[in-house]
Amino acid sequence: MTGKRSNPDALPFWRSKPLSAMTRAEWESLCDGCGRCCLHKLEDEDTGQVHYTEVACLLLDIGSCACSDYPNRRKHVPDCVQLTPEMIPKLTWLPSTCAYRLLWEGKTLAWWHPLVSGDPDAVHRAGISVRGRVITESRADFLDYHIVTWPE
Ligand code: SF4
Ligand code: SF4
């Protein structure tokens, strides 16, 4: 009988491959589902500093913290950023917990990341996701009134 056995000592793909060598499925699986990058942000015209608000993008399901129409999202939200390895260093507003940013910085994934924990709810239990902390666009008046000091 022949057959391939996986090596239990082999490093997982996020530790053995550079971001640019990942397959599409690997790349997509890096997103921890925190929803932090899906909050509206305001940029200070004078300093260039980006401030997060507690107001979610119109497509964000604030219960699951997932995009409600990910495949077609740019039809509804044209400025939704399509992350690529080349873009990561330019997106200075990406949260410090974001898996893409962590790996680009040479760090590894945290215990609550679904790929590490095996549990998609761990990101919520750990208080990393935006669940329970955000409001929908329809409830927001001026974005300036909703600036928050988290996630950073
Ligand atoms: S901040 Fe990063 S890990 Fe969190 S939802 Fe956005 S892309 Fe995914
Ligand atoms: S369109 Fe979807 S992925 Fe893009 S910011 Fe909105 S909720 Fe997030």
pLDDT (tens digit, 9 = 90+) per residue, 69-127? Answer: 999 999 999 999 999 999 999 999 999 999 999 999 999 999 999 999 999 999 999 99
Q: Cis link prior to 151 (omega < 30° from 0)? A: yes
Domain-by-domain residue ranges, the chain? Answer: 13-148
Residue 51, number of CB atoms within 10 A of its CB: 17
Q: Give residues (CB < 6 A) around ligand 2.
A: 38, 57, 59-60, 67, 73, 77, 80
Whether 151 contacts 95, CB under 8 Å: yes
Q: Alpha carbon of 101 to those of 14, 46, 50, 141: distances in Å?
A: 12, 26, 16, 31
* Nearest CA residue ID for atom 4, ligand 2: 80
pLDDT (tens digit, 9 = 90+) per residue, 68-79? Answer: 999 999 999 999
pTM summary value:
0.91
The terminus-to-terminus CA distance of the chain in angstroms comes to: 54
Strands 60-61 and 50-56, how do they pair? Answer: unpaired
